[in-house]
Every structure is written in C-alpha cells, then in structure tokens.
A and B are shown apart, each in its own frame.
Chain A
Amino acid sequence: MATETEAQKGLEIHPMDQFLVTPVLGDGPLMWYSFSNTAMWMAITLLGVIIFLVVGTRKKSYVPDRFQMVVELIYGFVRNMVQDVAGRDALPFFPYIMTAFMFVIFSNVLGLIPMSFTPTSHIAVTATLALTVFISVTVIGFVKHGLGFLGLFWISSAPLPLRPVLAVIEIMSYFVRPISHSIRLAGNMMAGHAMIKVFAAFAGVMGLGAFVPIIAISAVYGLELLVAFIQAYVFTILTCVYLKDALHPQH
C-alpha cells in the first residue's frame, strides 16, 4: 500500500531538509535562545574535543599510547603549520587557531554520522568564524604596525604606475577573504551531504537496483571524509596565511 502511494507520488527528494535548524527541546518556533539541533551538535563537538584532547592525554606518558600519539600528532601538525606559515611570532595565537581547527574538523567529521547535523554546512556559522578571523587579523595588523599595515596593499616590487591599480585589486581581494573563507567550507560540506541524500533517495525507490546508489553513497562518503579533513586543513591554513599578512604586511 505504501509502495503504491510512493509510486503514485513519484520520486520526492528533499536533500536540503537535513540542514533545517529546528529546536530540539519543545515544539515552539525557533527563537534566538532555543536549544536547536545546531546547538546540540556543537555540544557534541565540544564533547568530542574534550574526549580527544583531555582524555587522550590523561596518562601524560613519556612513551605515548596510540590515542595520545594521535593527539600529539594533531598538536604538532597545527603548531608547525602556524610556525611555518605565519612565523614564530604567530605562536601566541596558536591556541585560537587550534580552537578553530578542532571545532571545524570535529563538526565536519561528526556531521558524517547518519541522521546527524553539520554546523559547518551553515553559512551563518562559517561566516562568523571567517569574520572573527578577518576582524582579528585586521586589528592585529593595525595594532602591530599602525598605518604601516596598509603596506600590505601597496606592492612596492611592482612598477610605480601599476601600484595604485594593484592596491585597488589587493583591497578588494582583502575584503573578499571572509566571503571566500566561509563559503568554501560551508559549500563543500553542504554539497557532499546533499549529494549523499539524493543518492539515498534513489536507493529508496530503486528496489533491487538500489545497490548502484548504495555503492555511489559509499564512494561519496569516503570522499566526504577526505573533504572533511581537507576543508578543516584549508580553513586553518588560510587563517595562518591571513595572520602572516597581519604580522608581516611588507611585500
């Protein structure tokens, strides 16, 4: 009976439903303070970060076990990234960058659990993160160098007549940074999840032929896992690049 109803209705796919922000507690409309699914999965992200960083290092062993080794590996990876890209003088900002990396990577990976929610697939979240980075590095740039920070836009190695033109382009590119920084992450997360949902809907109506979309889902899922890590890395390394520009604005 149900199959007949499905057939009569045809194929209905709602790949964007998974991104709806809805309250988890209570039936009322979403208020600014409601404990929503976004809040719940951010709380789970926090829990994951605590388990990973705090529980993983509880033994404080000289010779680390596997768990501690992974934690130290991530610590060394992010610390070296900050130092190599932005320089040694960027190390005081390492905790902020580590926070952003842990939040993004845990949100991305936890979002791959079926029926879960991915906060980083929302532009509101990624834009807030990117704007925080943008405003912070701009303030750091002006605090460290005063008006000398504007030298970032004045390419002294270019021929003199070209410098004003390049300065306009540089300023535009500077202000586009938070947009590209946020849309890149949200777009990548949203696209993969939506694609998996579309394939899953195909599998639901294809009967025995469902193995084709299931194989496709498995393949895309593997790709999404890779994308989750890569996007966290890209978001963090771009933060380091922007920080480097703020700390060393001279061209």
Chain B
Amino acid sequence: MAAENNVSEQAGIPQLEFSSFPNQILWLVVFLLAIFIVVRMIALPRIGQIVSQREKRIKTDLEDARKLNEKIEGLENSIEETLAAAKRFSEGKAAETRNEILEMQNKALEEAEVTVKAEVAEAEKRIEAIQDEALTNIRAIANEAAVEIVNQIVPKRGILDEISGVVDAKVQGKASE
C-alpha cells in the first residue's frame, strides 16, 4: 500500500519527469533503428517486388490480350473476306448454272420442237394414208352396196356400170370437201 502511494505521489505528470528522458530516448533510438532496418531491408523491397511483379504481370497480360484481340480482329476480317469471296463464287456459279440450264432447256425445247414437227408430219402422212385407204374402201363398199341394192330393185346389166360411176363421182366429191 505504501509502495502504491509512493507511485501515486511520484506520478504528477510523468511526461515531464526529465530523469526518464535519457532512458526513453535511448530505447526509442534503438527500436526505431530496428524498425527502420526491418522496413528498409526486408519489408519494402519485398512489397515493392510483389507490387512491381504484379504490375508487370498485369501489363504483360494486357499486352497479350491486346495482341490476341488484334489477331481475332484479323481473323474476323479474314473470315469476312473468305465469306465474301465464297458468296461471290457461289453467286457466279449459280448464274453460270442458271445459264447452262437455260441453254439446255432451250436446246431441249428446240429438239423437242423438231421431233414434234417430224412426228406431226409423220402423223399427218399416216392420217392421209389412212384417209386414202379409208376412202378407197368406202368407194368399194359403196359400189358394192349400190350395185347390190340396184340388183335387188332393177336386175339389169348395163345400169350397174352407170351406178358405179355415179357413186365414184359422189365419193370423190366428198373426199375433196
């Protein structure tokens, strides 16, 4: 208790106790130098190295990213050019094919026209032959029929030739119509 009171009596303002100054200044100098050595020799070089390496890494990464971006842009341009060339090529090819098809179509149409005309001519010839044949047959049948009818009605020999001539003339006239 006595010691406690003694301390309190000593207290006053301890900051103004000049007898303690040398002690405080001595230890301040010692530990401040120690802190300075830690800061100067170890901490700051290490932190500076970490920070500068990080900045360098960030710079390198950004540079790489910029280069890759440029490369991508080049590739995009190249792709666009290739696409444009392919489009031009395909358009040319399509036009060429269309022309070829048109030519083939025209040619086929011409050939078909020629064939059709030949077939029509052939058919007309055949029709004409058939008509001729039919007319010939009709005249004979008509002659026979007329002669038979007349024979049934008038059984006279001379008239038959006359009838046949009339029938021929009639059939001839029908055919020419």
Contact = CB atoms under 8 A, between A and B. Distances in A.
Given A34-B23, A42-B27, A53-B38, A72 B10 contact: no
Contacts of A102: 35, 39
A17 to B, nearest CB: 5
Main secondary structure of the interface of A (DSSP, over half): helix
Nearest to A94: B44
Interface residues of B, number: 41
Given A45-B35, A99-B40, A124 B47 contact: no
A31 interface: yes
B53 interface: yes
A62 B54 contact: yes
Contacts of A103: 31-32, 35
A211 interface: no
B16 interface: yes
Contacts of B57: 62
Given A75-B47, A96-B36, A38 B24 contact: yes
A126 to B, nearest CB: 9
A186 interface: yes
A122 interface: yes
A148 interface: no
B31 A190 contact: no
Q: How large is the interface on A (under 10, 10 to 19, 20 to 34, 35 or more residues)?
A: 35 or more
Nearest to A100: B32
A230 interface: no
B49 A16 contact: no
Contacts of A36: 20, 23-24, 27
Nearest to B54: A62
Main secondary structure of the interface of B (DSSP, over half): helix
B173 interface: no
Interface string B34-67: 1110111011101101110110010000000000
Interface string A10-48: 001010110111000000001111111011001101100
B175 interface: no
B19 interface: yes
B12 A16 contact: yes
Given A31-B23, A42-B27, A46-B35, A190 B43 contact: no
A129 B13 CA distance: 20
Contacts of B44: 75, 94-95, 98
Nearest to A32: B22
A156 interface: no
Contact of A33 (B26, B36, B38): B26
B52 to A, nearest CB: 12
A186 B27 CA distance: 17
B14 interface: yes
A188 interface: no
A121 B13 CA distance: 11
Contacts of B39: 49, 53, 95, 98-99, 102
Contacts of B46: 54, 57, 60
16 contacts: A17-B11, A19-B13, A20-B7, A20-B14, A30-B23, A31-B23, A35-B27, A36-B27, A42-B27, A46-B35, A53-B47, A54-B46, A60-B46, A99-B32, A119-B24, A125-B25
Given A14-B8, A72-B47, A124-B20, 6 more contacts: A14-B11, A17-B8, A43-B31, A46-B38, A53-B38, A124-B24
Interface of A: 12, 14, 16-17, 19-21, 30-36, 38-39, 42-43, 45-46, 49-50, 53-54, 57, 60-62, 64, 68, 71-72, 75-76, 94-96, 98-99, 102-103, 119, 121-125, 128-129, 186, 190
